[in-house]
Amino acid sequence: MLDVFRSYLQKHVHVSDEQFQQLSKYLKLRKVGKGTVLLSPGEICEHSFFVEKGLLRSYTVDSAGKEHIIQFASENWFLSDRSSIYFNEPSDFFIDAIEESSVVFFDKEFLEYASEIIKGFRAYNDRMLHKHILHMQKRLNSLLGFTAEKRYMDFIKLYPNLTLRVPQWMIASYLGITPESLSRVRKELAQKNFKPG
């Protein structure tokens, strides 16, 4: 139970077995089926999610019913709506499972208690927040100014194991292009002998 999350924390913040035992009361490991919705727009996001196994995504749906994928989270990734959690405001996002997944649920109490008992946890959590902000700034810059090919290459660099796990239309949605444009980009790259993954 929670072995992957324990290993992750031990690697990044040197948590002892005893400390993890204390923290485990704030953690829930759940198996979630493919398509399970963990967060819907209008709800307050009360948990952050750590993926032990499987694949999650966050996305919005526009007024025409089109999905816009914001982020993927595979093994050892975190996913949440931080602004909804910290400002206690309704979320704008869906979070759901693309594959059957094992997910650790934790809330603000876990973060507060971990910050109290583990030296360096608060600094680590702050660093994670800043990395998330950096990632979102780069993503915005990419959507506004990069070619489809550059966006796809950046996607492969960020998510090297996802090209075969995620349907092409989801990758296109994440990149902000049509599936047809993605097919064209992949074909052009194949002609240059580029192979993803």
Per-residue model confidence as pLDDT tens digits over 99-109: 999 999 999 99
3.40.50.300, 2.60.120.10, 3.40.50.920, 2.60.40.10: CATH of 3-118: 2.60.120.10
Which pLDDT score is estimated for 193?
Answer: 74
Predicted confidence (pLDDT) at residue 70 exceeds the cutoff of 70? yes
Gyration radius (Cα) of the chain, Å = 18
* Distance between CA atoms of residues 141 and 111, nearest Å: 30
* Distance between CA atoms of residues 4 and 152, nearest Å: 30
Angle at 53 between CA 71 and CA 171, to 5 degrees: 30
Q: Which helix (H) or strand (E) holds 57?
A: strand 56-61
Which pLDDT score is estimated for 196?
Answer: 65
- Residue 132 binned pLDDT confidence (cut-offs 50, 70, 90): confident
Angle at 190 between CA 187 and CA 191, to 5 degrees: 90
Q: Which helix (H) or strand (E) holds 187?
A: helix 179-191
Which pLDDT score is estimated for 14?
Answer: 85
Least confident interval from 30-39, 54-63, 184-193: 184-193
SS3 content of the chain, % helix, strand, coil (to 5): 50, 20, 30
- DSSP assignment of 102-123 equals EEEEE-HHHHHHHHHHSTTHHH
Per-residue model confidence as pLDDT tens digits over 114-124: 999 999 999 99
Predicted confidence (pLDDT) at residue 197 exceeds the cutoff of 80? no
Question: What is the chain's mean pLDDT, rounded?
Answer: 93
* Edge-to-edge strands, sheet with 94-97: 37-39, 94-97, 56-61, 67-73
Which pLDDT score is estimated for 104?
Answer: 97
* Distance between CA atoms of residues 195 and 164, nearest Å: 12
